[in-house]
Structure 1
Amino acid sequence: MKDLIIQIVKPLVDHPDAVRVEMVEEPSQITYNLSVHQEDIGKVIGKKGRVAKAIRTVVYAGAGLQQHKRIYLEIG
C-alpha cells in the first residue's frame, strides 16, 4: 500500500524525492503518514481538499480489500 501511495503522489509534486510514507499498525487500525516537501503540501491537498480526498478514496478502496482493519491516511 505504501508503494501505491507513493506512485499516486510523486507525479503531483515538484520534489518527488521528499515523498515519504510511514505505516503505523495497531490492533484495530493502520495509519499511513504521508509527508511531502513543505512547498508541495498545497498540491497534495488540492483546492478544497479534493486531491487529498481522491487519494484517500483510492487508498481506502485498495486497502479495504486486503485488510480487515480501519485504514487512515494522514497528510503532513
Structure 2
Amino acid sequence: MMANYQELVKYIVDHLVTIPDQVEITTEVNDRGIVMVLIKVASEDVGRVIGKRGATINAIRLVAKAAAVKENERVEVDIEAD
C-alpha cells in the first residue's frame, strides 16, 4: 500500500503559506517507479516553501523520504515555479 504523500506534503505546505487555498499537490509514479510529488502554490508563497538556501523544501523532502523508507518506496518532492 502506497503511503499518502500527497496528504502529508499538503498538510505541511498548508501550514507554511499565506494563501492555503492556492496550494495544489499532485502525485504520479514515473516509469522508474518513483513517486513524484509536485507542489504548486501562489507565487508570493514560493519563497516560504523553498526557505533560505532551500532549507524548507529540503526538510519537506526529508519527511516524505522518511515515510517512503517505511513503505520501501522512492519519492521525490519538487515545487513548480510559475
TM, length-normalised to structure 1: 0.90
Alpha-carbon distance in 2 for matches of 1:69, 1:11: 26
1:4 aligned partner: 8
Query: Identity rate of aligned residues, in percent?
Result: 33
Q: Could you tell me which amino acid in structure 2 is paired with residue 52 of structure 1?
A: I
Structure (1/2) with the larger helix percentage: 1
Deviation, 1:50, is: 0.5
Q: Could you tell me which amino acid in structure 2 is paired with residue 38 of structure 1?
A: S
**1:23 lines up with 2:10 in the alignment:** no
Q: Are the equivalent residues in 2 in contact too, given 1:64–1:71 (CA < 8 A)?
A: no
5+ residue gaps, structure 2? none
Name the Cα RMSD after superposition: 1.2
Superposed, 1:1-76 pairs within 5 Å as 1-27=5-31, 28-66=33-71, 68-76=72-80
Q: How many residues align?
A: 75
**SS of residue paired to 2:18:** coil
Deviation, 1:26, is: 2.6
5+ residue gaps, structure 1? none
TM, length-normalised to structure 2: 0.84
Q: Could you tell me which amino acid in structure 2 is paired with residue 41 of structure 1?
A: V
1:30-69 deviation digits (Å, cap 9, x = unpaired): 1011111111000000011101111110011012212x33
Q: Are the equivalent residues in 2 in contact too, given 1:33–1:74 (CA < 8 A)?
A: yes
